[in-house]
Amino acid sequence: MTDTQQTWSETESARYRAAGHWQGVTFGTRLRRAAAGHGGRVALVDGDRRWTYAELDTEADRVAGGLRGLGIGRGDRVVVQLPNCAEFVFIWFGLQRLGAVPVHAMPGHRNREMGHLVRVAEAVACVVPDRHARFDHRELMHEVWAEQGPGGSLRHVVVVGDPGPDPGFVPFEALRAEPPSTSTSTSGSGSGSDDGGADPGDVALLLLSGGTTGLPKLIPRTHDDYAYNARACAQVCALDSETVYLAVLPIGFNFTFACPGVLGTLMAGGTVVVAPDPSPQTAFALVEREGVTLTSLTPPLVPHWTDEAASGSWDLGSLTLVQVGGARLPEDQARTLGPALGVTVQQVFGMAEGLINLTRLDDPEDLVCATQGRPVSPDDEVLVVDSEGRPVPDGTPGELLTRGPYTLRGYYRAEEHNRTAFTPDGYYRSGDVVRRLPTGHLVVVGRIKDQINRGGEKIAAVEVEEQLLTHPAITAAALVGVPDERWGERSVAFVVCAGAAPGAREVAAHLKERGLAGYKTPDEIVRVPGLPLTAVGKVDKAALAQELLRR
């Protein structure tokens, strides 16, 4: 595995090309072709601002010009941490135009995560908002910059909005100030091309894994594989140029961006509308105004959307399909959502690593409500195996292993982790426990990875435990997920203390001080005299969860 190439074998690559999955077209070139083919159609809407495909193409050129002026070029990694706004899309395609590689950070990430991403990716720049959700991202970037030390890779911070007094911070507006010049030429490779000379097999972006280890791993996605991810989802969802997609969840989340999301919609010639927040009030106003046809949600939003729709004060007539995924959707909520909104519901069981499962638009209600869908590609290979790695019969729970035309073969710069995260023949060990039905539909029944899924936001237990142990009073810690009505799962930290136990508030303050994203703060702290161990001497988290349920 090199930095810029994924490692499917030659045979597999040839097969995926022959099947038409990999089309050999970079994202930079795709946007150029879309602008040439249907430049007058509306591509993107953000508040009162809207851009046609031709205008989006021009914005990408302008941003690329500005980024090139900063010395950014092919293969360079840039961490993008922006809330839902048009600038995310401009930056993303601006980077594609240079053959540079966006790293999708989440708006909630803080010092620890951002610093880690910059270090692992050896990012040359970060793009952040000035403030978002009452948090100053410029201050965060000051810390990240200061902490990287003299040998650090970071050279630029681009700020969307007010860059503040620091002369080292580049305002986004200055980036796009220069009218496009050389960048519109389509001749040859290099700085003047549509894609900076990128190869379709190159890494086009780096996604974050939910993580089971200390810090999130980076997932390399190539132009060929990621475009197929978006297109295969778009086909199942029957997207076309009439599609109006509303981006409600964070735009950098794989679900929102490419399942089919932003990229699938743009590749179908449709319109992407960005929602500044996920409330049903904001979303429904946009549905009415823009004629939104499709959107995607995580399960915790579903009851709010159902309730607000029941108020009867909205015209949701344009909306035809609502996807729900990222965490297990309770069956009763799946059953009420469709009638409440007057839409088809689709369950989505996906992962940043690749494999996407969707229920089909014509699936019977029972499959839609009680399964998490089936793979989008005929070439997705799925194995359900027991603890010895032997395939189990349909209907029997086992771990989901998968490989295919858009599933990673290795995390970025994580050789040691890769040795255990994949089988010798290249299957990704998902850590999810599923049951497969004879129809191929999967039911997610559990998980063997040490991760908590809090309403779609993934928390690696180890990462939080390590941070808990930095508190002077905590001598041992175990983070456990327990069922929760609102979040599906909430996180409970069992701690062993020397002396007085810190309260939940103090722990939260400590973790914040350590620069950990807020959603990773334990929902509850339980002091215990000691942690129970399994026969092999590991912390017995099942026993801890049981203990909590008993109380």
Binding stretches for ligand OOB (CB under 6 A): 210, 254-255, 259, 325-328, 347-352, 356, 372, 430, 432, 444, 447, 453, 456, 458
Shortest CB 328 distance to ligand OOB, Å: 4
Rounded to the nearest 10 degrees, what angle do helices 280-290 and 302-310 cross at? 60
Closest CA to 519 of 298, 324, 332, 307: 298
Shortest CB 259 distance to ligand OOB, Å: 4
Shortest CB 494 distance to ligand OOB, Å: 22
Shortest CB 373 distance to ligand OOB, Å: 8
Shortest CB 178 distance to ligand OOB, Å: 36
Nearer to ligand OOB, 445 or 542 (CB): 445
Nearer to ligand OOB, 228 or 349 (CB): 349
Nearer to ligand OOB, 170 or 376 (CB): 376
Shortest CB 256 distance to ligand OOB, Å: 8
Nearer to ligand OOB, 72 or 206 (CB): 206
Q: Evaluate whether 61 touches 180 at the Cβ level (below 8 Å).
A: yes
Nearer to ligand OOB, 35 or 203 (CB): 203
SS3 sequence of 339-395: HHHCCEEEEEEEECCEEEEECCCCCCHHHHHHCCCEECCCCCEEEEECCCCCECCCC
Q: CA quadruple 395, 396, 399, 405: dihedral positive or negative?
A: negative
> Per 3-state DSSP, what percentage of the chain is helix, strand, and coil (rounded to 5)?
35, 25, 40
- Written as six digits, the tokens of 515 are 């620069």
Q: How far apart are CA 112 and CA 431, in angstroms?
A: 25
CB atoms within 10 A of CB 318: 14
Q: Evaluate whether 300 touches 488 at the Cβ level (below 8 Å).
A: yes
Burial tier of 6 (Cβ tally within 10 Å: 0-12, 13-18, 19+)? buried
Shortest CB 207 distance to ligand OOB, Å: 7
Burial tier of 10 (Cβ tally within 10 Å: 0-12, 13-18, 19+)? exposed
Nearer to ligand OOB, 88 or 145 (CB): 88
Shortest CB 150 distance to ligand OOB, Å: 35
Nearer to ligand OOB, 64 or 376 (CB): 376
Nearer to ligand OOB, 271 or 372 (CB): 372
Rounded to the nearest 10 degrees, what angle do helices 53-69 and 27-38 cross at? 140
Q: Evaluate whether 545 touches 481 at the Cβ level (below 8 Å).
A: yes
Shortest CB 456 distance to ligand OOB, Å: 6
**Which 8-state DSSP code applies to residue 202?**
B
Q: Give the containing element (helix H, strand E) for 159.
A: strand 156-160
Strands 374-375 and 354-358: antiparallel
Nearer to ligand OOB, 245 or 349 (CB): 349
Which residue's CB comes closest to ligand OOB?
A: 350
Nearer to ligand OOB, 21 or 447 (CB): 447
Shortest CB 348 distance to ligand OOB, Å: 4
